[in-house]
């Protein structure tokens, strides 16, 4: 089973705890996750850590996290940091 999680305009220090909690809840239910980033135009280093941590938790449970709808701005951030290579994309 796969569940889609839609991010807001940013994933940063203001909302990372809620996003992490939401993603972990989905993983606890045994679902793969597609993170819809189509409206997100900024991911801070804190946000990147949330994505990476969630991916690691998913892997330990035999689940997957996939990113979709990545904006050019977020793609640039992920390219510069090397995070672009850590994820699958829909």
pLDDT at 90 over 90: no
CA distance 34 to 8: 14
Full-model pTM:
0.94
E runs forming strands in the chain: 2-6, 10-11, 32-36, 42-43, 65-68, 88-89
List, for residues 48-83, the tens digit of each pLDDT value.
999 999 999 999 999 999 999 999 999 999 999 999
Calculate the alpha carbon distances from 35 to 17, 20, 38 in Å: 16, 12, 9
List, for residues 24-49, the tens digit of each pLDDT value.
999 999 999 999 999 999 999 999 99
Q: For residue 88, count other CB atoms closer than 10 A to its CB.
A: 12
List, for residues 9-28, the tens digit of each pLDDT value.
999 999 999 999 999 999 99
């Amino acid at each position: 089973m796969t569940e889609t999680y839609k991010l807001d305009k940013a994933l940063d220090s203001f909302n990372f705890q809620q996003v992490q909690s939401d993603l972990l809840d989905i993983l606890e239910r045994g679902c793969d996750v597609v993170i819809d980033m189509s409206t997100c135009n900024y991911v801070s280093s804190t946000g990147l850590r949330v994505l990476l941590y969630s991916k690691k938790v998913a892997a330990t449970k035999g689940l997957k996290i996939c990113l979709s709808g990545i904006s050019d701005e977020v793609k640039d951030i992920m390219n510069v940091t090397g995070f672009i290579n850590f994820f699958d994309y829909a």
